[in-house]
Structure 1
């Protein structure tokens, strides 16, 4: 397994904490769990697939939304981070499933929304496989919602003038190349692949982290670094040795990076 695949798979409770913290950060940043353009308005009941669910935090949050009745199915190739079944809401079902492989026929064309989020890096072949899986699950007129960390516009920010941003600037460079063969521009392929597969891309937008959430974003960077064990990436090991302590103290000094997230919503034709 490559270093980036090891990181994506997660290791322990730090990985799980990062996943859960990120969920609540994104919910506060965007103001929603399901985008308003996913066709759920006015529906009393919806069937939703969460792909690469990990801790199932997103699936559980959607299932407990009181504004509609949801039947939520969460899929992941591993059950390592799945909550115990007795702790789940009754309208959440967890499945061990490779989301790039064929799904059971009983699930095909039964979902109103298919959700993807934070896959770190994918090549175009994997994006295409995942989009095809989503299309197979969606009812005609159903929607894909996909959110990814957009590293194309990262920049340092300070609370006051003349503060040293060297650690944050080094972090920005690390984010663009944390593992061998990493391509931070991969997210630009998602919408074109969706369109090539016959979907109508109805939303493609970038949300910038606002000032009130910069502290939380900085904390997520620190947790993400702690989630990469020594030896997984020489580049990360070197960064942590040289900058981690400074980066940790930057939070209290009002030094951070402004991160963006890309949101893509696509509709399956009727």
Structure 2
């Protein structure tokens, strides 16, 4: 369980002056709602990744995706959360790129060429620096905006392309060019795996409490700009791009054993700046917002926790 001491440290830091930092963009995409952050972004992404892996029950890849993969790309990679899990399985920092690399090592034949991994993000701010403990061999990073065509050297070169959590980055019809450019990376016969939160299902299944009331207000505000049923739109747009949909499956924390990262993920969600932006837009004062935060965090401290829902879309690019 998350102790009062840890929660208290967040409460002590949640002052108006600290939340003013949320206006400082750590990501350069103007449409990315989480560009306003009030906590360490590496830490937030690591917690989010571990919680998602808990939801997926550590099933990092869909079983239809073959074991032999020459090149793997991760979209909106941040600090490399998708590819990094495989490199150091005992590391406290778990990310998709490192995890997938480590998982692939366990199944890859010794005679087969090693898989190459590439993370793309609109900003290089969170990429591992040369010489950093986070830097792992065979993982490269490139700053690129997926609303623009990828460089020619990447087009049609990847056996697997992974994307995740673009729900707060892609608005409306912007999903059309985003999907076109993301799927352009795939080789003929290559696979796409894309995971997104199902915020509408989260709202529909929340029990009455202060956390529920607060997040209903926040997500309805988010829904004025972004789709709360984004995974359905992803499936439809991927199909429209000409890929064969192999599966769309929903996962949830409901019914799973307790996971501390589930609670930590909700805790850090209050420090992304999004709740404050929403409540400010609703006319709440700083004092009123701090009271709402205190009530919600007290519920978290007392064991109240909201379930998450997330869907995984798996598709394949035609061979011809």
User: TM-score category by the smaller chain?
Assistant: 0.7 to 0.9
User: How far apart are 1:209 and its partner, in Å?
Assistant: 0.8
Q: Give the equivalent residue in structure 1 for 2:77.
A: 53
Task: Tell me if the contact between 1:151 and 1:176 (Cα under 8 Å) persists in the aligned partners.
Answer: no
Task: Establish whether residue 106 from structure 1 lines up as the match of residue 153 from structure 2.
Answer: yes
What is the correspondence of 1:35-114 to structure 2 with a 5 Å cutoff?
Answer: 35-37=62-64, 39-41=65-67, 43=68, 45-60=69-84, 61=98, 62-65=100-103, 66-67=105-106, 68=108, 69-87=114-132, 88-114=135-161
- TM-score (norm: length of structure 2): 0.73
| Structure 2 runs not aligned, ≥5 long | 1-24, 85-97, 109-113
Task: Establish whether residue 118 from structure 1 lines up as the match of residue 165 from structure 2.
Answer: yes
Task: Tell me if the contact between 2:39 and 2:268 (Cα under 8 Å) persists in the aligned partners.
Answer: no
Task: Establish whether residue 135 from structure 1 lines up as the match of residue 180 from structure 2.
Answer: no
Task: Establish whether residue 259 from structure 1 lines up as the match of residue 305 from structure 2.
Answer: no
Cα 1:129–1:219, aligned 2, differ >3 Å: closer, same or farther?
Answer: same
Equivalent residue pairs, number: 261
Provide the C-alpha distance between the structure 1 equivalents of 2:274 and 2:227, rounded to a whole number of angstroms.
Answer: 21
Provide the C-alpha distance between the structure 2 equivalents of 1:202 and 1:230, rounded to a whole number of angstroms.
Answer: 36
Listed one character per residue, the Cα deviations across residues 112-171 of structure 1 (whole Å, up to 9, x for unaligned) are: 1111110133234322212211322111111111111111222335xxxxxx72333322
| Structure 1 runs not aligned, ≥5 long | 158-163
Task: Establish whether residue 225 from structure 1 lines up as the match of residue 270 from structure 2.
Answer: yes
Task: Tell me if the contact between 2:249 and 2:312 (Cα under 8 Å) persists in the aligned partners.
Answer: yes
Task: Tell me if the contact between 2:167 and 2:226 (Cα under 8 Å) persists in the aligned partners.
Answer: no
Cα 1:195–1:260, aligned 2, differ >3 Å: closer, same or farther?
Answer: same
Q: Which has the higher strand share?
A: 1
Q: Give the equivalent residue in structure 1 for 2:213.
A: 169
- TM-score (norm: length of structure 1): 0.85
Task: Establish whether residue 197 from structure 1 lines up as the match of residue 241 from structure 2.
Answer: yes
User: How far apart are 1:261 and its partner, in Å?
Assistant: 0.4
Provide the C-alpha distance between the structure 2 equivalents of 1:237 and 1:146, rounded to a whole number of angstroms.
Answer: 36
Which of 215, 237, 243 is matched with 2:292 structurally?
243
Cα 1:17–1:107, aligned 2, differ >3 Å: closer, same or farther?
Answer: same
User: How far apart are 1:175 and its partner, in Å?
Assistant: 2.5
Which of 50, 61, 71 is matched with 1:34 structurally?
61
Provide the C-alpha distance between the structure 1 equivalents of 2:44 and 2:30, rounded to a whole number of angstroms.
Answer: 16
Moved over 6 A (4+): 1-4
